[in-house]
Amino acid sequence: MSDRFPVQVNIGGPVTLDLLKDIVGIAQNEGFGRNWEWMSSEEILLKHTLQVLHEGNGKIEYLDFNCNELAYEAEKPLTDFLIDKGIPYEAMTGPRYEYAASMHWWRPGMKHLGTWSHFDGDTRTVTISLEQLIKWKKRKRGLADVIKFLEAIPPPMPPFELIDWKPELVAEEKQEVVVVTPSEGAGQLTTMGSVEKPVDTP
């Protein structure tokens, strides 16, 4: 698949500085940046990341990397590394062309990835079409079945925390960041349409 999509990966859980450097290196190598801006080197992306952590004294809700033009499944090297190291994440692909938004996620202890397609840019916001509800009615699905389906949304992710954080990690000097201006629609991970590959429904 040659089409490119906006992709964001949210990362949680405690990590060490060495592990953070590995994560940043993989993210930058695969084309990720922050705030939908491409960072021209691993060093610049790490500096930007540490500045964000500085605002939370080493602990934030989640650490996110994103890119407005990423090939299909190009986030896999990053997410595979996170799984290998036991780090929870949520990876969201925004809608583009005929494709609707989708996401996959992982938490420590899971044997398989979780997938979720009924979201509207926020992994806690569920969008279910009238068409889907009518299908459930025809299948004689009850409220309990619908609730069970909704419970498949990702569980809360622990905050991202740099275990060996210290303010000295943030350098005083400013470093120029080379930015590529995002194209129209950058960072939009929302959809109200149907899903190309819906998750299993009751």
Would you kindly state where each structural domain of the chain is located, as residue ranges? 4-169
Q: What is the pLDDT of residues 45-60, one digit of tens each?
A: 999 999 999 999 999 9
Higher pLDDT, 118 or 135: 135
Edge-to-edge strands, sheet with 114-116: 63-71, 4-11, 89-93, 102-106, 114-116
Query: Encoding tokens for residue 112?
Result: 């398989």
Considering all CA atoms of the chain, what is the largest pairwise distance in Å, rounded to the nearest integer?
64
Tell me the average pLDDT across 18-28: 96
Beta carbons within 10 angstroms of residue 16's beta carbon:
12
Alpha helices in the chain (DSSP H): 17-29, 42-55, 76-84, 130-138, 143-150
Rounded CA-CA distance 21/27 in Å is 10
- Of 75 and 123, the structure prediction assigns the larger pLDDT to 75
Query: Which of 35-39, 62-66, 196-200 is modeled with the greatest confidence?
Result: 62-66
| 139-167 residue pLDDT tens | 877 777 777 766 667 788 999 999 999 98
Calpha distance 122→124 (Å, rounded): 5
Beta partners for residue 32, in sequence order: none
**Looking at the whole model, is its pTM more than 0.75?**
no
Tokens of 31: 């084309």
Are 197 and 117 in contact by the 8 Å Cβ rule? The answer is yes
* Per-range mean pLDDT, top range of 15-24, 96-105, 117-126: 15-24
Alpha carbon distance 58, 18 (integer Å): 14
